[in-house]
């Protein structure tokens, strides 16, 4: 592109943008449409990001989760007491002064009413061993104390306490035939553990007639580099019939179905609402071209080329897209980021508490999409303006 053409593009574009106030009503409609698309799109996809963030923060590469072969999650798994002992004897597991850093675990799903609606939701009540708290990366009791082994006491994750009714310090709740007392609230840096209720493993086994069995075993490895060696040693042991994941692998699989679902819904919303925004932008740009018919013809008669005319109309569309995208990004961040909610984890059919997460990458993607909407909305009107016969334009009043 020559310097003369670039100069013409700059001149006509500047003039066109200065005159946007004359088309304020139609421009605002297009801008609001694009801002609405961005707000809704970011809102939906922030669910995906929040859910994924919860599970990503839950996973470590040097902590293994062992479940029964053929099972895809803890709910469908089963391990005998003897199998958990065989696994815990591995020399690839880390140890401290209290023994091997491993926790055989089981859980049941209990009904707890949601604070927002009062309807019952499935919440995991997990039975854990004495080393369980050392296996979560940032685990800490923030209110009350830990449960006493052998008693009907529970501690509740911060996320569950915020989302579900009755899970407050000192409260007693009846699940099954047993009254359970909440003696502590814990945090784990926003991980999936914060959506759970914990108690002593043997107490939960007795309360729900689970015998001496477990559903999984969680263990810390001596290092992340021995993961494959640990897998091979367990899967080749004739006494065992198990699958081995790292925590990160396990939670990535757990999140896949919901992340895919939300991404699909987000894409569908973006397309449908985007079409509406494009029509609004088209209407604005066609109005701009119609209002400037004589002006465009005069510029063409003065020697300005078709390319600068196309560029000027496209620039207006892109500017509307950029402003709409920026407004939508700001609104969505203020409205959604950090808002707590819960959703069903399809792998375990229990609720997971999470916070809507509006990430910088998500905002950038949304603004790029808004620019694309503005660009597409200005494309056809810009081509119409470039093809307008000069004589026809000069006769317009």
Dump pLDDT digits (tens) for 110-128. 999 988 888 888 899 999 9
Q: Where residue 129 falls among pLDDT bands split at 50, 70, 90?
A: very high
Least confident of 101-105, 155-159, 222-226, 390-394: 390-394
Q: Where residue 4 falls among pLDDT bands split at 50, 70, 90?
A: low
pLDDT cut 90: percent of the chain above it: 40
Closest CA to 83 of 203, 205, 217: 217
Average pLDDT of 285-293? Answer: 61
Q: Domain spans of the chain?
A: 3-56+254-395, 63-222
SS3 of 193-256: the string is HHHCEEEEHHHHHHHCCCCCCECEEEEEECCHHHHHHHHHHHHCCCCCCEEEEEHHHHHHHHHH
Report d(CA 22, CA 393) in Å as an integer.
19
Report d(CA 292, CA 298) in Å as an integer.
10
Is the confidence at residue 167, as pLDDT, over 90? yes
Position 397 scores a pLDDT of: 45
Mean pLDDT of the chain: 82
The residue among 312 and 237 whose pLDDT is bigger is: 237
Average pLDDT of 242-264? Answer: 81
pLDDT of 290-336, one tens digit each? 655 666 666 666 666 667 767 777 777 788 888 888 999 999 999 98
The residue among 101 and 31 whose pLDDT is bigger is: 101
Whole-model pTM? Answer: 0.70
pLDDT of 15-66, one tens digit each? 666 666 656 666 777 788 888 888 888 888 888 888 777 766 667 889 999 9
Position 389 scores a pLDDT of: 66
Instruction: State residue 327 phi and psi, 5-degree precision.
Output: -65, -45
Position 334 scores a pLDDT of: 92
Q: Where residue 279 falls among pLDDT bands split at 50, 70, 90?
A: confident
What stretches of the chain show up as alpha helix (H) in DSSP? 3-18, 24-58, 81-88, 158-163, 201-207, 227-235, 247-291, 293-301, 306-336, 360-387, 390-395
Is the confidence at residue 173, as pLDDT, over 90? yes
Position 380 scores a pLDDT of: 72
Average pLDDT of 3-7? Answer: 63
**DSSP string of 158-182, one letter each residue:** HHHHHHBTT-STT-EEEETTEEEEE
Contact 160, 167 (CB under 8 A): yes
Instruction: State residue 241 phi and psi, 5-degree precision.
Output: -140, 80
């Amino acid at each position: 592109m020559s310097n003369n053409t670039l100069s013409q593009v700059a001149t006509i574009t500047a003039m066109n943008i200065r005159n946007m106030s004359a088309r304020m009503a139609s421009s605002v409609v297009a801008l609001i449409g694009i801002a609405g698309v961005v707000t809704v799109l970011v809102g939906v996809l922030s669910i995906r990001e929040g859910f994924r963030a919860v599970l990503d923060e839950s996973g470590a590469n040097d902590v293994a989760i062992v479940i029964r072969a053929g099972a895809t999650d803890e709910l469908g798994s089963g391990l005998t007491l003897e199998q958990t002992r065989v696994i815990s004897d591995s020399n690839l597991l880390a140890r401290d002064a209290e023994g091997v850093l491993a926790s055989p675990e089981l859980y049941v799903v209990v009904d707890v009413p949601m604070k927002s609606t009062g309807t019952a939701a499935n919440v995991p009540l997990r039975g854990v061993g004495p080393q369980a708290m050392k296996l979560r990366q940032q685990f800490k009791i923030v209110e009350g104390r830990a449960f006493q082994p052998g008693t009907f006491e529970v501690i509740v994750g911060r996320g569950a306490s915020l989302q579900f009714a009755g899970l407050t310090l000192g409260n007693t709740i009846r699940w099954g035939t047993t009254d359970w007392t909440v003696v502590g609230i814990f945090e784990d840096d926003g991980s999936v553990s914060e959506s759970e209720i914990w108690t002593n493993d043997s107490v939960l086994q007795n309360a729900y007639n689970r015998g001496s069995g477990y559903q999984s075993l969680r263990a810390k490895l001596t290092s992340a580099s021995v993961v494959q060696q640990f897998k091979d040693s367990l899967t080749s042991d004739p006494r065992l019939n198990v699958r081995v994941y790292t925590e990160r692998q396990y939670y990535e699989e757990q999140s896949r179905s919901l992340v895919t679902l939300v991404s699909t819904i987000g894409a569908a919303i973006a397309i449908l609402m985007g079409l509406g925004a494009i029509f609004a932008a088209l209407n604005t740009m066609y109005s701009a071209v119609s209002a400037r018919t004589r002006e465009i013809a005069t510029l063409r008669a003065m020697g300005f080329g078709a390319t600068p005319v196309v560029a000027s109309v496209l620039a207006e569309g892109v500017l509307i897209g950029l402003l709409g995208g920026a407004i939508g990004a700001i609104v969505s961040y203020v409205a959604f980021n950090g808002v707590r909610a819960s959703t069903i984890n399809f792998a375990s059919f229990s609720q997971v508490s999470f916070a809507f997460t509006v990430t910088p990458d998500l905002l950038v993607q949304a603004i790029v999409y808004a620019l694309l909407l503005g660009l597409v909305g200005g494309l056809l009107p810009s081509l119409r303006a470039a093809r307008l016969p000069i004589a026809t334009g000069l006769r317009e009043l």
